[in-house]
Amino acid sequence: MFLPSPPFPDAALREPFTMAAVFPLYSSHYLLAVLAILPHTFIFRLALVPLVLWQAWYCAVRLDISAGLAKSLGRESTDRLNQTNFGYVIGVFGIALKSLEWAFARKPLRRYKPPTEGQQGPIERRLSIPNVLLDAFDLVCNHRGIGWSWSDKPFPEASLRSTSIPSIVSRMLFKFVLSDVCHYLVQYLQPSLNEPAGDTIFDPALSLLPRCARSAVFALCIGVTVYATVDATYHAATLVGRIVFRQQAWQWPPLFNHPWTSTSITEFWSSRWHQLFRHVFVVYGARPGGALLGRPGALVGAFAVSAVIHHLGLWGLGRGMEFHTVGGFFLLMGFGAALEHAFERLTGRRVCGIWGWAWTTAWILGWGTLMVDAWARRGVLACDFFPNGLRPGKQLVDAIISLL
C-alpha cells in the first residue's frame, strides 16, 4: 500500500537541482568540518548546526536532482533518471547526521599520518592553515574514518588485492559490465520492468513456489547490480584520489569483502558489505540501542537508523512511501542478527559454515524480494545507468542470446 508522508511536501513539486541551490549546504558543512578540527570551537559549531540542518532539509525535500540532470542532458522527461533522487536524498540526510555529530564532538577531530617503523601509534598532522583546509575537505568526503581519530581502525589492514592503477581500472570496467548484465537480464526477462510506470516482480500468473523463485532470481540480479555499481563507482573515485590527489593505496582499501561468502547475517553487514554508513548507524542507533538493551538493542538500533534513512530515500522517488518494504527489510536484518546472537548464547556456537551461508542467503534474499519489488513498482529498474546505445552488458547478453 502506498502511503503519503504528512511531514514531507509533495515530491512532485520539487525544483530542479542546481549547484547554486546546494552551495550553501555544502559550504556550511565544510565550515563545520573546519571547526570540528580546531580546538575550542564548540560554541561556533553549536551556532552553525541549526543552519546546516535547515539547509539539509531544504535540499532534500525541495530539490529534484533528476530534473536537474534531465535539463543538463537535454531530456524532456526525468522518468529514467528518477533513481538518482534515491541516493541524493540519502546523501543529504547523511550530511545532516554527520554535521550533528561534529557539532557535539567532545574532542577536536584529528587526521593521522601513518606510523613509520619504530614509532608507537599514529601521529597527528600539524595544525596549519593548509593542513586544516585540506583535512576538512578529506573529513567531508571520508565516510569510513580512514586516517582519522574518530575511527576504531584508522589504518586498514593491508589488502592482498593488487593496488596498481591498471588493476583498479580493469576491476572498474568489469564491475560496470557486470552491473549492466544483471540489470539488463531483469529487463529482458520481464520487459514491463523497463517501463517508467513500473511493475511488480511477482508474476500473479504463476503458482506460489515458481512465483517466489522467479522473484528471488530478480532480487539476486538487482542485488548484484547494486553491488557492482557501487564498487565500480568506488574504483572510479579511487582513480581520482590516487592519480589527481596523489593519495596512497592504503587510503583506498577495498569497499566490499566478498559478500557472497558470508556465513552469517552479522558477518555480511558488519564486514563484507560496504561500510560507508556504518559510523552513522553506530552513533545514532547502535550506541543508544546498546545502552538500553545490550547487544540485541545495538543490532536492532543500527538497522533501525538504516531503515529510516533508506525509507527517506524511497520518498525521494516521488511515488509514495511504504515502510514495510524498504525500511522493513533493514529492520528484519537487525532482527536476524539478533536471532544469531540469541542462538550463540543458547548453544555456545556461532552461526557459521555451510548452514550459516544457507541461512544468510535465504534471509537476505527472501526479504530482499519485497524491497526490490517496491523499487520495481516505482520504475527504478527502468533507470538509465548507461546511454541505451552504449550498454556493454546489453550488447554482451544480446550477443550470447543470438549465438544460442
How many other β-carbons are positioned within 10 Å of the β-carbon of residue 355? 10
For the ranges 186-200, 241-255, 317-331, 370-384, the lowest mean pLDDT is seen at 317-331
Are residue 135 and residue 169 in the same domain, yes or no?
Answer: no
Of the pLDDT bands very low, low, confident and very high (cuts 50, 70, 90), residue 240 is very high
Query: Which cell numbers in the block locate residue 167?
Result: 588493476
Are residue 195 and residue 134 in the same domain, yes or no?
Answer: no
Predicted pLDDT at 175: 97
Are residue 178 and residue 253 in the same domain, yes or no?
Answer: yes
Are residue 186 and residue 133 in the same domain, yes or no?
Answer: no
User: Average pLDDT, whole number, for the chain?
Assistant: 92
Which residue segment(s) compose the domain that 194 sits in? 165-403
Predicted pLDDT at 142: 94
Is 153 a domain residue? no
Predicted pLDDT at 399: 94
What is the Cα–Cα distance from 85 to 68, expressed in whole angstroms? 11
Q: CA separation (Å) from 292 to 282, 296, 298, 314? A: 14, 10, 8, 29
Residue 5 above 60 pLDDT? no
Residue 1 above 60 pLDDT? no
Whole-number percent of the chain with pLDDT over 90: 79
Is 252 a domain residue? yes
Are residue 246 and residue 379 in the same domain, yes or no?
Answer: yes
Of the pLDDT bands very low, low, confident and very high (cuts 50, 70, 90), residue 7 is low
CA atoms within 13 A on the CB side of 232: 17
Write out pLDDT tens, residues 109-126. 999 988 776 667 788 999
Q: Rounded mean pLDDT of 387-398?
A: 87
What is the Cα–Cα distance from 146 to 230, expressed in whole angstroms? 18
Count how many residues are written for the chain.
404
Is 121 a domain residue? no
Of the pLDDT bands very low, low, confident and very high (cuts 50, 70, 90), residue 82 is confident
Is 94 a domain residue? yes
Q: CA separation (Å) from 147 to 106, 138, 209, 342? A: 19, 10, 49, 35
Is 4 a domain residue? no
Is 3 a domain residue? no
Of the pLDDT bands very low, low, confident and very high (cuts 50, 70, 90), residue 75 is confident
Are residue 62 and residue 175 in the same domain, yes or no?
Answer: no
Counted domains in the chain: 2
Predicted pLDDT at 322: 77
Are residue 41 and residue 174 in the same domain, yes or no?
Answer: no
Write out pLDDT tens, residues 121-157. 788 999 999 999 999 999 999 999 999 999 988 888 8
Are residue 137 and residue 190 in the same domain, yes or no?
Answer: no
Whole-number percent of the chain with pLDDT over 70: 96
Predicted pLDDT at 132: 97
Are residue 211 and residue 137 in the same domain, yes or no?
Answer: no
Are residue 49 and residue 169 in the same domain, yes or no?
Answer: no
Predicted pLDDT at 9: 65
What is the Cα–Cα distance from 76 to 349, expressed in whole angstroms? 58
Is 148 a domain residue? no
Is 150 a domain residue? no
Of the pLDDT bands very low, low, confident and very high (cuts 50, 70, 90), residue 400 is very high
Are residue 132 and residue 189 in the same domain, yes or no?
Answer: no
Write out pLDDT tens, residues 322-369. 777 899 999 999 999 999 999 999 999 999 999 999 999 999 999 999
Predicted pLDDT at 2: 40
Are residue 217 and residue 135 in the same domain, yes or no?
Answer: no
| pLDDT: which is higher, 50 or 320 | 50
Q: Rounded mean pLDDT of 179-195?
A: 96
Predicted pLDDT at 127: 93
